[in-house]
Structure formats: C-alpha cells, structure tokens
C-alpha cells in the first residue's frame, strides 16, 4: 500500500530486461526472497526434490511450505533420477492424486556451501522427461557467471524460459540489500498476492533500490569485469593448491572458495579451533578471512568446518599473491 515507488518499478523493469525474462519482482531482504517464493507455489502435499547442500534460506522456505521434501546427493544426477523414477512408480499406483501434486526441483547455480556449480543441462533433460519444474537460486552466480553476468543460464547457454523461476539476492554482486525473482509473468504475478515476504512487509528503501540500479548500469557498461573476475578466481585457485593440510573446495571460477582441513581431527570443535588459529594468524598479518558459519543444530546436512575465501574484482594481483603466500605460511606453521 503506497510503498511502491517509481524507483522500485524501474529496478524491476531493468532486472527483467537484463535477465531477458518477462517480469521481475523485488523483495526487501535476501533471505526472505527464496523463503517466501517457495511456499507461494509449493503447498502441503506437493513434492520437492532438493540438493543436500542447499543453503539455509531454501531449507526454511521448504519448511514453511509443508511439502514433502526429498533430498538427493549433492550434484548427483543418478541419485536424482532414481528418486524421480520411484516417484513415477508411485504415481502409477494413484493417478488421480498424481494429476494434482506438483513437483519441483530446487537447485542453486553456485552453491554457497561447497562452491561448485550444478549440472544444468542434465537437469533440463530430466525436467522434460519427468515433468518437474525447476527453481534456480542464483545468489552467488548472478553477476559472476556467464559472459555478461546473467548467471548460470548464460554460462551453459540455456534458454532462460526453460527455467521456471530464478531467484537471487542482490546482496552479493549488486552490493545492495534485497532480492528478486524473475521469470515469466505467469509465474511471477502469483507472488504479488501470495508471497509472504512481499505482501506483509515494507518495501526496499529507495536508497538501496537506486544503488542496485546504479550497479546494474555498471554491469551493463563494463562487461569485461566478468572476465577479470574469472581470471583472478583462477589465479587464486591455482595459488592455493598444494597448501599442506588444507584442501581447496570449489570450482576454479567460483569467487567464494572453501578451505577445509585435509584430515579432520575427529571432533568438530577441535577443527573449528584449529581453523580459528589460522584465521587469527592471517588477520594479524593483514588479510581478513572468516570461517563459514552454520547453525549446527538446525542444518539438515552440516558441511564440514572451513575457511571461506572470497575474491573481488578490485583486488590487485599482488594482493592475491600475498594472501596466498600468507595462507601457506599459516598452514605450515600451525597445522604441521
């Protein structure tokens, strides 16, 4: 009610045009975006197939939707196909019910918890074979993957209409607050009335909407920053290989990598303490790192403790090399 300002409309139009979809809808908080989008479509009795390494916001969205959740192993298409086949045999026993249960697959473009990318072409094939809809969460890959930063669909060269809903938050690449969902009008319009985080909450402050528009302008005007970012990511990925005691988890073009202990000491607490010492050592020498934080009791599949290394396009190559050598020193002195 009177909280939609022309800046919001402009941002929605720009996002829809940038992602080449029909419509986009803006939320005022990144966490709430996916946590309100999923329950708007998937209700009690529907079936959702979700990856094990999905982030916490997706888990909360699924919990709020009360649907049946089936987890498949991370990036394992064979496991997913097995689950889909099981579902198909169940459907044949009860065709009337099967005609009204909706089926969804929820995946992330670049997983925040592991840093690798989902195999989207195979997912599209599975989609048409078993008639499930795909919801893609692009928080980390928006503005990173693809030639123009459009995300994983551009990276793999897939028609964007094949994905039913793309949801992303603007807090990573666009340096603003909030999130958006984009897709066809048929799907997005439904959220205007039934997305809880949209209807029942205040909208984004115009300051942040304008900041997001400006960030989009920068992204559209300089498409070569994506190449630079990818080069820097590969550089640091290579530089961090071969550190004794720590292994790098994540794709070479992912800007957020994890460094996990090669051999865990058995208890999570000790691992966390050890990694904390590495982080403190680096912090005292001028490199700020952080451990990846999780709520240990609430996560469905808790990832092992790790240090998160994040790269931006503004860091110079000397700084990256310095960071890598410092990490090597820290690991050698503390972990051996």
Partner 1 sequence: QKNGVSNGTLYKKTFIEHFEQAPMYVAVLTFLGFGVGTVFGYLRDFMRAWGLEKRNIAAEREQQKDFVPLYQDFENFYTRNLYMRIRDNWNRPICSVPGPQFDLMERVTDDYNWTFRFTGRTIKNVINMGSYNYLGFAETDVNALKTVTIELEKYGTGICSTRQEMGTLDKHVELEKLVAKFLGVEDAMVFGMGFATNSMNIPALVGKGCLILSDELNHTSLVLGARLSGATIRIFKHNNMQNLEKLLRDAIIYGQPRSRRAWRKIIILVEGIYSMEGSIVRLPELVSLKKKYKAYLYLDEAHSIGAVGATGRGVVEYFGMSPDDVDVLMGTFTKSFGAAGGYIAGKKDLVDFLRTHSHSAVYATSMCPPVAEQIIRAMKCLMGLDGTTQG
Binding site for partner 1 (CB under 8 A): 1-6, 8-9, 22, 28-32, 35, 41, 55-57, 60, 63-64, 98-103, 128, 131-133, 161, 171-172, 174-177, 184-187, 189-190, 192-193, 196-197, 200-202, 204-205, 207-208, 211, 288, 290-295, 298, 308
* Minimum distance from residue 193 beta carbon to partner 1 (Å): 6
* Minimum distance from residue 75 beta carbon to partner 1 (Å): 22
* Nearer CB in complex with partner 1: 156/294: 294
* Nearer CB in complex with partner 1: 5/239: 5
* Nearer CB in complex with partner 1: 203/252: 203
* Nearer CB in complex with partner 1: 64/326: 64
Among the listed residues 125, 19, 112, the one whose alpha carbon sits nearest the alpha carbon of residue 59: 112
* Nearer CB in complex with partner 1: 91/122: 91
Radius of gyration of the CA atoms of the chain, in A? 21
* Minimum distance from residue 297 beta carbon to partner 1 (Å): 9
* Minimum distance from residue 332 beta carbon to partner 1 (Å): 25
* Nearer CB in complex with partner 1: 93/263: 93
* Minimum distance from residue 238 beta carbon to partner 1 (Å): 25
* Nearer CB in complex with partner 1: 78/199: 199
* Minimum distance from residue 32 beta carbon to partner 1 (Å): 5
* Nearer CB in complex with partner 1: 19/57: 57
Among the listed residues 205, 151, 226, 220, the one whose alpha carbon sits nearest the alpha carbon of residue 183: 151
Among the listed residues 256, 258, 260, 259, the one whose alpha carbon sits nearest the alpha carbon of residue 232: 256
Long-range contacts of 184-189 (CB under 8 A, 24+ apart): 184/21, 184/22, 184/23, 185/22, 185/23, 187/41, 188/22, 188/23, 188/24, 188/25, 189/23
* Nearer CB in complex with partner 1: 32/106: 32
CA-CA distance, 298 to 117, in Å (whole number)?
24
* Minimum distance from residue 58 beta carbon to partner 1 (Å): 11
What is residue 162's DSSP assignment?
A: G
Q: Do 117 and 141 form a contact (C-beta atoms < 8 A)?
A: yes
CA-CA distance, 62 to 167, in Å (whole number)?
15
Query: How many other CB atoms are found less than 10 A from the CB of residue 138?
Result: 27
φ, ψ for residue 105, nearest 5 deg: -120, 130
* Minimum distance from residue 165 beta carbon to partner 1 (Å): 10
CA-CA distance, 60 to 63, in Å (whole number)?
5
Given CA atoms 325, 326, 329, 331 in this order, what sign does their dihedral have?
negative
Q: Report helix, strand or coil for 300.
A: coil
End-to-end CA distance of the chain: 61
Q: Report helix, strand or coil for 264.
A: coil
* Minimum distance from residue 175 beta carbon to partner 1 (Å): 3
């Amino acid at each position: 009610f009177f909280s939609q300002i022309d800046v919001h409309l402009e941002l929605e139009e720009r996002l829809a045009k940038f992602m080449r979809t029909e419509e986009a809808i803006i939320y005022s908080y990144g966490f709430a975006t996916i946590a309100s989008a999923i329950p708007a479509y998937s209700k009690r009795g529907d079936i959702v197939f979700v990856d094990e390494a999905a982030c916490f916001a997706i888990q909360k969205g699924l919990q709020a939707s009360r649907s049946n959740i089936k987890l498949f192993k991370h990036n394992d298409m064979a496991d997913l196909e097995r689950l889909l086949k099981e579902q198909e045999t169940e459907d044949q026993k009860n065709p009337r019910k099967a005609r009204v249960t909706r089926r969804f697959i929820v995946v992330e473009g670049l997983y925040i918890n592991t840093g690798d990318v989902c195999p989207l072409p195979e997912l599209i094939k599975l989609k048409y074979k078993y008639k499930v809809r795909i919801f893609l969460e692009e928080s980390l890959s928006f503005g990173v993957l693809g030639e123009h930063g459009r995300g994983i669909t551009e990276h793999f060269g897939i028609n964007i209409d094949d994905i039913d809903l793309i949801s992303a938050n603007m807090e990573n690449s666009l340096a603003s607050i909030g999130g958006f969902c984009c897709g066809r009008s048929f799907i997005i319009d439904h959220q205007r009335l039934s997305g809880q985080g949209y209807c029942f909450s205040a909208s984004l402050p115009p300051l942040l909407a304008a900041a997001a528009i400006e960030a989009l302008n920068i992204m559209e005007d300089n498409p070569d920053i994506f190449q630079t970012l990818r080069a820097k990511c590969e550089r640091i990925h290579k530089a961090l290989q071969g550190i004794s005691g720590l292994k790098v988890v994540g794709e070479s073009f992912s800007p957020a990598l994890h460094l996990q202990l090669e051999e865990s000491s058995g208890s999570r607490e000790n691992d966390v303490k050890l990694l904390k010492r590495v982080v403190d050592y680096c912090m005292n020498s001028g490199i700020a790192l952080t451990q990846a934080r999780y709520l240990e009791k609430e996560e469905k599949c808790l990832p092992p403790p790790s240090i998160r290394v994040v790269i931006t396009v503004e860091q110079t190559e000397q700084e990256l090399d310095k960071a890598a050598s410092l990490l090597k020193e820290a690991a050698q002195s503390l972990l051996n």
